[in-house]
Amino acid sequence: MSGHLELLLRGILLGLAVAAPVGPIGVLCIQRSLQGGFWAGFSGGIGTAVADAIYAALAAAGFAALAGQLGPAETALRLGGAAFIAWLGWRTIMSAPAAAAADAPMSGRPWRLFAVTFALTMGNPATILSFAALFAGLGLAAEPGLDAAAIAVAGVFVGSLLWWAVLSGSVAALRYRISDDSRRWINRIAGIVLIAFAIALAL
């Protein structure tokens, strides 16, 4: 039992390590939390956590080599994801800071942000390689058996979900203290950051 608990904790650590760096999905969740509150942002985190768990399961199953064999398909996924992130950046820049949550892009429909973040995360097959490397670094790859893999993957999901809950909750708690003018600048900055991520992804 203690071995399984340790494995779960290492999986949670892995999930936190993968989710914590602020990328385009993090910017989206922050901006949506400011506009629509906790669930508007956390729904995106759920989509990312589900995708992370799927990739972690593939890495645990030994499918890491798949990411290096996709060829043109990987390029198409990467460019498609970059174009969509750029579009989201433009929409964010142009969105009205004082708009009601139901009128803001995706903030009134949490399932839409879930679908977007899930698709964007799954659209980066190289993530499998990252999970494979981190699995090895944390000693998770050395654990044999289906039950051990399932516990590690569950830990990844919990760790990723925990990060997005903390991030969305913290931002949502501050949303009523931020003026419309400040939100306008936050929207502009968030949109510019998203477009910058899109350009970097496309290069």
Q: Give 33-72 pLDDT, tens digit per residue.
A: 888 889 888 998 999 999 888 888 877 776 545 545 555 5
For the entire predicted model, the pTM comes to 0.72
Number of domains in the chain: 1
Q: 20-24 — which CB contacts under 8 Å span 24+ positions?
A: 20/163, 23/197, 24/85, 24/88, 24/120, 24/193, 24/194, 24/197, 24/198, 24/201
What residues make up the domain containing 169?
Answer: 2-202
Closest C-alpha to 63, from 129, 119, 137 = 129
Residues 14-27 have a mean pLDDT of: 78
Q: Give 126-153 pLDDT, tens digit per residue.
A: 666 666 666 665 555 555 567 777 888 8
Q: Give 117-127 pLDDT, tens digit per residue.
A: 888 888 776 66
Closest C-alpha to 24, from 124, 102, 126 = 124
